[in-house]
Amino acid sequence: MIAIVQIGDIHIRINRVNPVLNNATLIVAALRTFVAPCSELYLVLSGDISYAGKETEYELAAAFLGELEDGLKKLNGPRFVGTVAVPGNHDCDFDEAGDLRETAITGVASKLHSLEVDGKTASELLRLQERFFDFLALLGVEAGNKQRLYWESAFPEARYKVIFRCLNTAWVSRRDEKPGQIFFPHQLVRSVDAKSDLVVTLLHHPYGWLEPNNARALKRCIETSSDLILTGHEHESDTYRKTLSDGTTMNYVEGAALFDQTVRENGFNVILLDSAKTTYQVAQFWWQSTLYEQQPITTGIFARNQKLLEHQFQNNDEYRAFLDDIGTPFTHNEKTDLKLSDLFVYPDLRVSGFKTAQSTKRLCAAQRYFSML
């Protein structure tokens, strides 16, 4: 069983009291019993780690993260595997925004399909996140310009092959951000190794914050290639399962704010996935004055995304021909190269309830016709 601890919107701020920085041991204590049956545990930071993208804020964040990871490593039961993080809009240092940033953002929409991720435009827009990527390097992720919009985190030493796909939706964030203003080059979202046990896509902004046409394209890419999708930003925790018209299913978990003075419910999520029993549990933990209190558990059936499973094993043309080989020569007046599929008739296709020989003859003719399709 796999456990994923989702923490987001920490909003560590310089020259302000950050009471959450004293809560690392309380977070560990809260989830200790819940994650005990698991074999592995991951920590996911879903953006807005800092408040203003300042170096001092990330120094405080690094100390907090170090204490939290130390506590997770000492848990009885799961082995702590590693931490994954994406930036949010608060991880941008807007004091460093130049006069060209707004012009660059305006021009991004027309360049999304041909955007050079290591070009001047992208470099200018990503410049505000330098301190975040310094922080990310502490987690072992060295991201050059080509990897700062999209990167993957995996842990080869883990028992299960879990792939985290990280999207930097905050690269075009503004100081006063409004829904429908974000753009993300969806073509960067790659398919992953079909032999993976779990594919998690992590992005700070839910789709409603993206430009509508771009949101639809990105959603299509993500939903056809993810088992679990984690978001933050809106400070309201929720979990739901989505089923497409073709039966494809994926699971969404929206993160709460770990610290936001303007909302009543501050906390984090813990997700348990048991692929053997195909179960899926999500627990929210809310801050209650002196501790994090577990809320009622959301439980459901966990089914992997069929779009991923379709590509796990594919017969090549040569082997497909071998499987369809009839094994002995036959002749037919309407087809020269008979295959096994030409002769196969489904067992439930039989004469039933027909009284006349003419009806039986018509049915037999229908059987021969459909066997040739």
pLDDT digits (tens, 9 = 90+) for 270-282: 999 987 778 889 9
Bridge partners of residue 284, in order along the sequence: 269
Q: What is the pLDDT of residue 122?
A: 82
Q: In this structure, are 185 and 208 located in the same domain?
A: yes
Burial of 135 (0-12, 13-18, 19+ CB in 10 A): buried
Q: In this structure, are 352 and 231 located in the same domain?
A: no
Q: What is the pLDDT of residue 146?
A: 66
Retrieve residue 222's tokens.
Answer: 């993500």
pLDDT at 10 over 50: yes
Q: What is the pLDDT of residue 27?
A: 96
- Alpha-carbon distance 98 to 102, whole Å? 8
Task: Round the CA-based radius of gyration of the chain to a whole number and report it.
Answer: 26
User: Running DSSP on this structure, what letter comes out for residue 330?
Assistant: -
User: Running DSSP on this structure, what letter comes out for residue 85?
Assistant: E
Q: In this structure, are 249 and 345 located in the same domain?
A: no
Domain end: 282, 309, 336, which one? 309
Confidence bin at 18 (pLDDT 50/70/90)? confident
User: Running DSSP on this structure, what letter comes out for residue 106?
Assistant: H
Domain end: 264, 285, 309, which one? 309
Q: In this structure, are 141 and 40 located in the same domain?
A: yes
Please state the domain count of the chain: 2
Confidence bin at 314 (pLDDT 50/70/90)? very low
Mean pLDDT of 305-314: 61
Helix axes 130-138, 55-73, angle to 10 degrees: 20
CB contact at 8 A, 80 and 72: yes
CB contact at 8 A, 356 and 334: no
DSSP string, 333-354: SS-SS--HHHH---TT----S-
346 lies in which domain range? Answer: 317-371
Q: In this structure, are 155 and 268 located in the same domain?
A: yes
* Mean per-residue pLDDT of the chain: 84
Q: In this structure, are 359 and 217 located in the same domain?
A: no
Q: Give the pTM.
A: 0.79
CATH of the domain at 193: 3.60.21.10
Mean pLDDT of 174-192: 87
Q: In this structure, are 294 and 345 located in the same domain?
A: no
Retrieve residue 341's tokens.
Answer: 């599929």
DSSP string, 144-192: -GGGSSEEEEE-TTSSS-EEEEEE-GGGG--SS--TT-B---GGG----
Q: What is the pLDDT of residue 207?
A: 94
Q: What is the pLDDT of residue 334?
A: 67
Q: In this structure, are 240 and 347 located in the same domain?
A: no
Q: In this structure, are 232 and 364 located in the same domain?
A: no
Domain end: 281, 309, 337, which one? 309
Q: What is the pLDDT of residue 241?
A: 85
How does pLDDT run across 78-119, given as a tens digit for each residue?
Answer: 999 999 999 999 999 999 887 778 888 877 777 776 666 657
What are phi and psi for residue 108, nearest 5 degrees? -65, -40
Q: In this structure, are 147 and 185 located in the same domain?
A: yes
Mean pLDDT of 258-286: 88
Q: In this structure, are 142 and 240 located in the same domain?
A: yes
Mean pLDDT of 238-245: 84
How does pLDDT run across 113-169, given as a tens digit for each residue?
Answer: 666 665 777 888 899 999 999 999 888 777 666 678 999 998 989 999 999 999 999
What are phi and psi for residue 120, nearest 5 degrees? -65, -40
Q: In this structure, are 331 and 290 located in the same domain?
A: no
- Alpha-carbon distance 157 to 16, whole Å? 39
Retrieve residue 175's tokens.
Answer: 């100081």
- Look up residue 251 and give its amino acid: N
